[in-house]
Amino acid sequence: MSQKLDVPSIIRKTLGYKGRVLFMPHHLAHAASAFFPSPFEEAAVLTIDGVGEWATGSYGVGKANEVRILKETDFPDSLGLLYSAFTYFCGFKVNSGEYKLMGLAPYGKPAYLDEIREHIATIRDDGSVALNLDYFGFLDSLAMISPRFEELFSGPRRLPESRITRREMDLAASIQAFTEEAMLKMARWVHKETGKNYLCMAGGVALNCVANGRILSNGPFDDIWIQPAAGDAGGALGAALAVQHGYHGLQREPIKVFDRQKGSYLGPAFSEQEIDAFLRFRNIPHTRLGTSERAMTVARALAEGHVVGFFSGRMEYGPRALGARSILGDSRREEMQKLMNLKIKYRESFRPFAPSVLIEHVSEYFETEHPTPYMLLVAPVQKSRCLARNNEVPEDSDLLLAVNQKRSDIPAVTHWDYSARIQTVDKQTNQFYHEVIRCFEELTGCAVIVNTSFNVRGEPIVCTPEEAYRCFMRTEIDYLYLEGFWLDKRDQPRVSDEAWKEEFTLD
């Protein structure tokens, strides 16, 4: 409470700033973050999240230098809070574990969809939802759900890190189906109301890349663009852009490659000199690579089945690693998903990894030609690459046994339902990362690698060389590429620090 009541002075003190502090409405900031960096000159804008002020969603129109919100939905009718309640009930952390629930959904069947519709929430024709608060705790307690929620789904919630059962898989599938239906209806309503051909999206719910894929393929819009930092972090960017264009009247920048987001590489970078100084100061064994051998060195290690920590250029803005602070692996290896999950990320292994694919080859591997540089769309793996498998997790089977079945010729990035959360990589946006994958293709004939964020369970993504080195040393990553420097784990001193594993809990 003491912090919430005095935000301007906290901002001034933290940033050492003496000027005026401007505030703007939560969803208008989301809307600005969706439209201003987008490639469109005119588009509909849709924001959906938990709640900001009292709004839980909004839609409007963006044109040139202005974003105008027309309508909003209010608390407690919130698709975001509904999804978070199920996230909590399935044993994941609210506000950060929602993506896990989405990853779990393909293993289950929407067996509880009727119960959700009948008791918990309804979807109106305009896509807005109405929650039955008898099943939620946030009105009169400090809990997400009420005891009636537990009664409806036959028992208490799953405890974090305990075994995932058929119930959680089916609940995940049910709420995911409900969310997709609501989002699709919302998109159709917004299209009807605004008459625009393009859609920009933001708000935490817009990180649901499966629903986004459905809006793109089954929705009424010619194209969609989603803010990579769609969650509340992106509100800062939206507020800054709104002030720049709306308050000060500055023109939008011209489009670079696909949009104005610059590949979302908006974070800090570290020069070779800085990294050299760090390595020398810490007396860390390393090899300095010549410019021409860098990409091939990384690609060769990947082709040999090694896992590489990859630190290059400006850090990504948003929750996804996009080839600046990433852990990379070989997508063709059957054991790679298990290895990276259990020995490097130290987390549950039902979650698939995302593929980075050269944009010029995307349709050879996936059933899409749409550029998705921010991993915000899901598409099926090409049928010719898939292996015929049973698509149902057997009753009472250990989920991990099912997960480890090989499902395509790029098994490390193929989900249970043969989908993948794709990152297309192009030369103009991230030349060096593109070159690494091109070299990998030259060596293996495969233009797809595994890309996961450079962090371990629950930790934030690494930002500085020191954080990258610490993460490298605490995990079983084989090599670390550090902006032109190559570190081999076998050359490093041994560390026996295990206490850090308790430092962060799982999402």
Partner 1 sequence: MTNRLRSAALRIILTTVYQAKAASVAFANFIEHLRAGLLAVVLSFVYYTIVTPMAWRTKQSGGNDVLTWKDYRNRIGWRANVQSTSDPEIYRTLQSPRGELLSLLHGRNKSVLVLYDLLMKFRFLAKPPKEKELSADLYVMF
At 190 the three-state DSSP class reads helix
Q: Does 51 bind partner 1 (CB under 8 A)?
A: yes
Q: How far apart are CA 171 and CA 243, in angstroms?
A: 42
Among 34, 81, 101, 468, binds partner 1 (CB under 8 A): 81
The closest of 212, 230, 252 to 67, measured between CA atoms, is 252
Q: How far apart are CA 182 and CA 409, in angstroms?
A: 34
Q: How far apart are CA 475 and CA 339, in angstroms?
A: 11
- Per the rule left: phi > 0, alpha: psi between -120 and 50, beta: everything else, 502 is alpha
Shortest reach from residue 460's CB to partner 1, in Å: 15
Residue 250 tokens read as 């500055």
Piece of the chain touching partner 1 by CB under 8 A; list 60-68, 219-227, 431-439, 476-484: 60-68
The site string for partner 1 over 1-40 (x = CB under 8 A, - otherwise) reads xx-xxxxx-----------xxxxxx--x---x--------
Give the full edge-to-edge strand order of the sheet including 479-482: 287-288, 485-488, 479-482, 308-311, 325-330, 448-453, 354-358, 423-425
DSSP string for residues in 27-94? HHHHHHHHHTTSS-SEEEEEEEEEEETTEEEEEEEEETTEEEEEEEEETT--HHHHHHHHHHHTT--T
Q: Which is nearer to partner 1, 190 or 437 (CB)?
A: 190
Q: Does 388 bind partner 1 (CB under 8 A)?
A: no
Q: Which is nearer to partner 1, 35 or 472 (CB)?
A: 35
The closest of 416, 325, 373 to 39, measured between CA atoms, is 373
Burial class of residue 463 in the structure, from the number of CB atoms within 10 Å of its CB (0-12 exposed, 13-18 middle, 19+ buried): middle
Among 243, 342, 443, 506, binds partner 1 (CB under 8 A): 243
| Paired residues of 130 in beta bridges | 122
The site string for partner 1 over 96-125 (x = CB under 8 A, - otherwise) reads --------------------------x-x-
Taking CB under 8 A as the criterion, which residues in 325-354 touch partner 1?
Answer: none
The closest of 39, 422, 427, 431 to 258, measured between CA atoms, is 39
Q: Does 67 bind partner 1 (CB under 8 A)?
A: yes
Q: Which is nearer to partner 1, 59 or 310 (CB)?
A: 59
Q: Does 235 bind partner 1 (CB under 8 A)?
A: no
Q: Does 398 bind partner 1 (CB under 8 A)?
A: no
Q: Which is nearer to partner 1, 84 or 297 (CB)?
A: 84
Q: Which is nearer to partner 1, 55 or 308 (CB)?
A: 55
Among 34, 48, 69, 171, binds partner 1 (CB under 8 A): 69
Q: Does 178 bind partner 1 (CB under 8 A)?
A: no
Q: In the complex, which residues of this chain contact partner 1 (CB under 8 A)?
A: 1-2, 4-8, 20-25, 28, 32, 49-55, 58-60, 65-77, 80-81, 84, 88, 94-95, 122, 124, 126-128, 130-134, 138-139, 142-144, 189, 232, 242-243, 245-247
